C-alpha cells in the first residue's frame, strides 16, 4: 500500500507508525485519523501504486463529488465533477491508447470510450429525439469544413425567436413577415437604413410577367421560352439616333436541341442572304449555288474538287507527282466558240515534253480516237528553233567557234541528239536565213571544250562568214531534232492482224481529189508557213516540194503526184497511179478492183525485178507493150508482147541449154523457133571462123 502523509499550511502530524495496515482505509478511519482533511491533501511521495477503488463522494448535501487537477504552482486547476442527479450508475472504460490528432473521446453507448472523429466517420446525435442542442453563451458552432444536412428530404429550419432576424454572412433577413397568397409576385428588397432584406410588393421592379428594360445587367445561362405559336427570340435595337429598327434572333422550329457557338474574338456574323467577304474560312462539304470568284483560290495538295459524287468526277493537284489529275466517270466536253468575233474560238494545249492522247484505256470493245477538222488538219513537228540570247561568237580555226556563253539545257540536249546547228551568215539577210546550206551541224562526236564565255564547239563544215559583228538575239544557234516527225505505231500491246488506216472521202461522194499530202514547206527566218504568203516579195507562196496521195475524179484510182509551186504557179507531175485500165468502167461506184500500176517516171531499179508466171499472153493495150513471164515446158521464160500482139521470147535457151530464138506473129499466126547455136555452127563450117566461145 502507498505511504500517505498529510500536509497542511500550519502543522503536520506524522503517523506514529508507517507499517502497513493490511487493508484499505475506510471513510470512517479517514474522518477519525486525519484532522483538517478539507484543507489538506493526500500526497503519494513514493512510487507505489494505489489498489482497489478510489471513491470520491459529496458531503451528502448539495456538494457533489469532484476531482481537481492543479497546475505546477497550484494556482489553477481542472475539475471533473459528477452531475447533481444520476439516474443510474454508469462506468466508463478508457481507451487502450492515445488517439490521432483532432480525434475526441466517444462512447459506444455501453460505457466503452474510444478515440474517434466526430461528424465525419463517426456520428454525433442527441440521446433523445425531442432534446434540444444548445450552445453556451457567446459560443459558436464550428462545422469544421463539414455540412449541416437533413435526411429524408427534411427541411433545415432556422427560426429566430419573436422578431429576431436570420444573419447569413453580411446579409440580414427579416423572417418574421407574414407570407401568403397576397404576397404573390413580391420581391426581395434591401433597405440600407435597417440593413435588412425583406419581402416587399414590387413597385417599378421586375416580376415574372412584367415588361422591363435591363441596363448593364448580366444574365447567366438565361432561357428564352417561346409560346405555342412562336419560338423564343432576342430583339437587338439599333442606336437610338438611327431610328427604331431592330434585328431579331429567333430560335428555329427544331425537333432537337441545337447549340450555336459564337466566335471567340471580335468579328461580324455572316448572313445567309447577305453579301459578305469570307477570309481564311474553311467550308466543309459546302453547296455553292452560283456566284463569282474574284481572286485566286489556293487548293491544298492532294485535295479534290469534286463534281457530283467522288466516283463521278474530280480535279486535284498532287505535289508528289507534280501533276494536275482529273477523273471523269462520263464525258468531257470542251466547247470553244468565237461568238462571231475574230481572234476567238481557239483552244491551245502546250507541253514542254510529251502530250499523250489515249483512247480505250479500259480495253473494252470501244476506244476510238477521233480528231476532226473542218479546215486544214495538221500534224506539225517543230523544226528549227532559235536560241534566245546573242552569242557574240568568234572563230577559233576553220571549224571551231567560241561562244559567248555556255550552252543551255535545251541546246545541250540538241547537241547530244546531233540536232544542234550553227548559222553561218548574216541574220539580217532574209535570203541567207532561208539558205539551208548556211546551217552547219555541230559535231557531237567532238566534245565541247571550255566553259562560260570560252565555250567552244566544233562544226562538221568550215565557218565562212562571221563578218556581221552584231547579230540580233537568237540567230546563231538553232536547235532541231532527229526523231521522226509523226509515228503511227500499231505494234504495241501484242496486236495481231491490226491495220493502220488512213481514211478519206472517195471521189464519187464529192468533192473529188481528196488526198494525203506530204509537203516540204519553206524555211524562213526561223519560222514556217504553208504557202499562204509571208509578205516576202521574192518568195511569195513558195512550196519547194509537195506529194499528194489521192483519189482521182470518180475513178477507182490512187495516184501519187509531185508538185512544186513558185510565186503561186504550180507544176505537177504524176509519179504513179494504181487504177483500172478502163477509166469508164473502173469507177468508184463499180467497186472494180484496180489492175494496173502506172508509172510516169523512169524506173531505176537498184535491185532485181522479179516476174512471176502468167497464165498466158496478156491482152493488148493501146499504145503499150508488155514484158512478162510465162511457163514453157515447165520452165519460166520472159516474153515481150508489142501493141500488135506479136510475142518474142527473151529467154534464149532451150531445155538442152542451146541458144534458141522464139517468135509469134499474131497477124499471120506464124510461130517459129530457131536454134541459133546450130545455125552459127553451120556458118562456122562454111566460113572457117569460130563465133561461139565458151567463157
Q: How far apart are CA 345 and CA 304, in angstroms?
A: 29
> What's the confidence (pLDDT) of residue 481?
64
Within-domain flag for 417: yes
Question: Do 537 and 584 lie in a common domain?
Answer: yes
Are 583 and 620 part of one and the same domain?
A: no
Residue 121 lies in a domain: no
In this structure, the number of other CB atoms found within 10 A of the CB of residue 23 comes to 9
* Same domain as 522, residue 577: yes
Task: Going from the first residue of the chain to its last (695 residues), give the mean pLDDT of each consecutive group of 10, the final group possibly shorter.
Answer: 45 48 56 48 59 72 78 87 83 87 83 75 40 59 78 83 82 82 80 83 67 81 81 80 78 81 85 82 81 82 78 83 84 84 84 81 73 70 58 80 84 84 77 75 90 89 64 65 63 56 50 58 46 41 64 68 73 80 62 77 88 90 89 89 90 82 86 89 91 80
Look at the chain and report how many structural domains it folds into.
4
CB 119 within 8 A of CB 133: no
User: Interior CA angle at 108 toward 102 and 112, to 5°?
Assistant: 90
End of a domain among 156, 182, 198? 198
Among residues 198, 218, 251, the one where a domain terminates is: 198
Is residue 393 situated within a structural domain? yes
Residue 390 lies in a domain: yes
Say if residue 588 is in the same domain as residue 611. Answer: no
Task: Kindly state whether residue 46 falls inside one of the protein's structural domains.
Answer: no
Are both 462 and 400 inside the same structural domain?
Answer: yes
What ranges make up the beta strands (E) of 312-381? 313-318, 323-328
Residue 9 maps to a domain? no
Query: Model's pTM, two decimal places?
Result: 0.39
Last residue of a domain, one of 569, 602, 635: 602
Per-residue pLDDT at 181: 81
Residue 663: C-alpha distances to residues 467, 625, 633, 640, 660 (Å): 73, 15, 16, 10, 10
Pairing verdict, β 626-631 and 613-614: parallel
Same domain, 581 and 612: no
Position 409 scores a pLDDT of 82
267 domain residue, yes or no? no
Q: Are the beta carbons of 55 and 71 closer than 8 angstroms? A: no
Range of the domain at 430: 380-482
Residue given cell 475574230 in the structure block: 342
664 and 614, same structural domain?
Answer: yes
Please check whether residue 338 lies inside any domain of the structure. no
Same domain, 579 and 641: no
Q: For residues 591 and 609, state if they share a domain.
A: no
What 3-state DSSP class applies to 7? strand
Domain identity same for 595 and 680 = no
Amino acid at each position: 500500500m502507498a505511504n500517505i502523509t498529510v500536509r497542511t499550511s500550519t502543522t503536520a502530524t506524522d503517523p506514529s507508525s508507517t507499517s502497513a495496515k493490511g487493508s484499505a482505509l475506510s471513510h470512517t478511519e479517514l474522518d477519525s485519523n486525519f484532522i483538517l482533511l478539507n484543507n489538506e491533501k493526500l500526497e503519494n511521495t513514493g512510487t507505489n501504486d494505489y489498489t482497489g477503488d478510489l471513491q470520491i463522494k459529496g458531503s451528502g448535501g448539495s456538494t457533489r463529488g469532484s476531482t481537481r487537477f492543479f497546475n505546477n504552482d497550484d494556482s489553477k486547476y481542472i475539475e471533473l465533477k459528477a452531475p447533481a442527479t444520476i439516474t443510474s450508475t454508469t462506468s466508463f472504460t478508457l481507451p487502450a491508447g492515445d488517439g490521432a490528432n483532432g480525434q475526441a473521446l466517444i462512447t459506444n453507448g455501453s460505457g466503452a470510450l474510444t478515440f474517434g472523429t466526430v461528424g465525419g466517420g463517426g456520428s454525433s446525435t442527441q440521446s433523445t429525439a425531442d432534446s434540444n442542442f444548445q450552445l453556451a453563451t457567446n459560443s459558436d458552432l464550428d462545422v469544421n469544413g463539414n455540412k449541416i444536412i437533413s435526411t429524408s428530404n427534411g427541411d433545415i429550419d432556422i427560426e429566430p425567436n419573436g422578431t429576431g432576424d436570420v444573419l447569413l454572412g453580411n446579409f440580414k433577413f427579416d423572417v418574421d413577415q407574414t407570407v401568403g397568397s397576397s404576397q404573390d409576385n413580391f420581391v426581395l428588397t434591401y433597405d440600407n437604413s435597417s440593413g435588412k432584406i425583406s419581402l416587399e410588393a414590387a413597385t417599378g421592379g421586375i416580376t415574372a410577367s412584367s415588361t422591363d428594360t435591363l441596363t448593364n445587367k448580366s444574365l447567366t445561362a438565361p432561357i428564352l421560352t417561346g409560346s405555342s405559336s412562336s419560338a423564343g427570340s432576342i430583339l437587338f435595337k439599333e442606336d437610338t439616333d438611327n431610328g427604331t429598327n431592330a434585328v431579331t434572333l429567333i430560335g428555329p422550329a427544331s425537333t432537337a436541341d441545337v447549340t450555336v457557338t459564337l466566335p471567340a474574338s471580335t468579328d461580324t456574323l455572316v448572313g445567309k442572304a447577305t453579301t459578305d467577304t469570307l477570309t481564311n474560312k474553311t467550308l466543309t462539304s459546302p453547296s455553292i449555288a452560283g456566284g463569282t470568284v474574284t481572286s485566286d483560290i489556293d487548293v491544298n495538295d492532294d485535295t479534290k474538287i469534286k463534281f457530283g459524287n467522288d466516283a463521278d468526277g474530280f480535279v486535284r493537284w498532287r505535289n508528289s507527282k507534280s501533276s494536275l489529275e482529273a477523273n471523269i466517270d462520263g464525258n468531257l466536253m470542251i466547247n470553244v466558240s468565237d461568238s462571231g468575233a475574230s481572234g476567238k474560238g481557239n483552244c491551245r494545249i502546250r507541253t514542254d515534253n510529251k502530250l499523250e492522247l489515249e483512247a480505250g484505256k479500259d480495253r473494252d470493245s470501244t476506244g476510238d480516237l477521233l480528231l476532226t477538222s473542218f479546215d486544214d488538219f495538221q500534224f506539225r513537228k517543230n523544226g528549227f528553233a532559235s536560241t534566245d540570247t546573242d552569242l557574240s561568237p568568234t572563230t577559233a580555226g576553220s571549224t571551231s567557234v567560241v561562244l559567248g556563253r555556255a550552252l543551255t539545257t535545251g541546246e545541250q540536249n540538241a547537241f547530244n541528239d546531233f540536232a544542234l546547228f550553227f548559222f553561218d551568215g548574216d541574220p539580217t539577210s532574209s535570203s541567207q536565213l532561208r539558205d539551208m546550206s548556211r546551217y552547219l551541224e555541230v559535231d557531237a562526236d567532238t566534245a565541247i571544250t571550255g566553259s562560260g564565255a570560252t565555250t567552244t564547239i566544233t562544226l562538221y563544215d568550215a565557218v565562212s562568214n562571221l563578218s556581221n559583228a552584231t547579230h540580233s538575239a537568237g540567230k546563231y544557234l538553232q536547235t532541231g531534232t532527229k526523231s521522226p516527225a509523226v509515228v503511227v505505231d500499231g505494234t504495241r500491246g501484242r496486236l495481231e492482224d491490226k491495220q493502220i488506216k488512213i481514211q478519206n472521202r472517195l471521189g464519187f461522194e464529192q468533192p473529188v481529189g481528196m488526198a494525203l499530202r506530204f509537203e516540204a514547206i519553206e524555211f524562213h527566218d526561223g519560222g514556217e508557213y504553208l504557202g499562204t504568203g509571208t509578205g516576202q516579195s521574192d518568195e511569195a507562196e513558195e512550196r519547194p516540194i509537195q506529194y499528194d496521195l489521192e483519189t482521182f475524179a470518180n475513178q477507182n484510182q490512187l495516184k501519187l503526184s509531185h508538185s512544186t509551186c513558185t510565186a503561186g504557179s504550180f507544176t505537177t507531175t504524176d509519179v504513179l497511179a494504181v487504177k483500172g485500165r478502163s477509166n469508164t468502167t473502173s469507177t468508184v461506184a463499180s467497186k472494180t478492183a484496180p489492175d494496173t500500176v502506172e508509172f510516169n517516171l523512169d524506173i531505176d531499179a537498184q535491185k532485181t525485178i522479179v516476174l512471176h508466171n502468167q497464165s498466158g499472153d496478156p491482152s493488148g493495150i493501146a499504145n503499150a507493150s508488155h514484158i512478162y513471164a510465162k511457163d514453157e515446158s515447165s520452165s519460166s521464160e520472159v516474153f515481150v508482147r508489142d501493141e500488135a500482139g506479136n510475142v518474142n521470147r527473151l529467154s534464149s535457151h532451150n531445155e538442152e541449154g542451146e541458144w534458141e530464138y522464139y517468135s509469134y506473129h499474131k497477124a499471120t499466126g506464124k510461130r517459129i523457133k530457131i536454134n541459133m547455136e546450130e545455125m552459127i555452127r553451120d556458118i562456122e563450117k562454111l566460113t572457117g571462123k569460130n563465133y561461139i566461145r565458151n567463157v
